[in-house]
Amino acid sequence: MNNKIYIDDFIIWQESADEKLPDFSFIPSMVRRRMSNIEKIAVGIAGKIVQESQDYTTVFASKFGELGQTIQLIKQFFEEHEMSPAGFSNSVHNAAAGLFSLLTRNTNSYTSIAAGDNTLGMAILKALMEPRDVMVVFAAEHNPDMYAPLLDTPHNAFGLAFMLKKHGKRGIKITKGDCNAGILKLETMVDFLRGRTNCVTTKSWTMQND
């Protein structure tokens, strides 16, 4: 694990009454038409972080993944007794990661993480183990209405992306985590990125402004 990293660039996007999806106009129109909402969120914010010349790996993370797309496929199967191959290709958990690598022509590795409530913390742990610069992308679409009764906290669409670099301006010291630490909450990481708190701790790692 890297003992020191740098976080200079980050993007935080949240669904509002005026904006249901982030700007993804840089994506070719033929590709946009086939994208799911969570792909538009993840790829849209990721595209604002990276540059074509950057040498980086990518970690995409989503607690629920392609819920909306999966629901559409299930409905289609029961109504039409078949599934759309294109719809199925968009329902897998690494759909956004694969699409982003194609759009950016980045041949470095990418990883898709799903670890329940601990998804964000595990995504960052994976990123800290990478030998080169790495972009972390966390995305969630607006929870489908049919799932709302099953969720402890129904949520709006959200996207978070940041680059962990070997060199930069804002130095971050990485140390061992605290075994008594709880699950990393999204709002805690947001506060750290925005400079509202000096330290964030999980069971696996601790980040502190250096």
Q: What is the DSSP string of the chain?
A: --SEEE---EEEEE--SS-SS---TTS-HHHHTT--HHHHHHHHHHTTT--TT--EEEEEE-SS-SHHHHHHHHHHHHHHSS--HHHHHTTSTTHHHHHHHHHHT--S-EEEE--GGGHHHHHHHHHHT-SSEEEEEEEEPPPPGGGGGG-SS----EEEEEEEBSS-SSEEEEEE--TT--PPPHHHHHHHHTTS-SEEE-SSEEEEE-
CATH of the domain at 19: 3.40.47.10
49 within some domain: yes
Categorize the per-residue pLDDT at 95 as very low, low, confident or very high, splitting at 50, 70 and 90. confident
Residue type, 79: E
Domain that holds residue 33: 6-171
- With respect to residue 157, please indicate whether it lies within any of the assigned structural domains: yes
Say how far apart CA 58 and CA 73 lie, in whole Å: 28
Q: Is residue 127 part of a domain?
A: yes
Count up the domains in the chain and report the number. Answer: 1
155 within domain boundaries: yes
The verdict on residue 182 lying in a domain is: no
Residue 98 lies in a domain: yes
Structure tokens at 208: 């502190």
Binned at pLDDT 50, 70 and 90, residue 187 comes out as very high
pLDDT value of position 174: 96
pLDDT per residue as tens digits for the range 2-56? 799 999 889 999 998 889 888 888 888 888 888 888 889 999 999 988 866 678 9
This prediction has a pTM of: 0.86
Residue 54: inside a domain: yes
Q: Tell me what pLDDT residue 37 has.
A: 86
Instruction: Grade residue 143 by pLDDT with cuts at 50, 70 and 90.
Output: confident
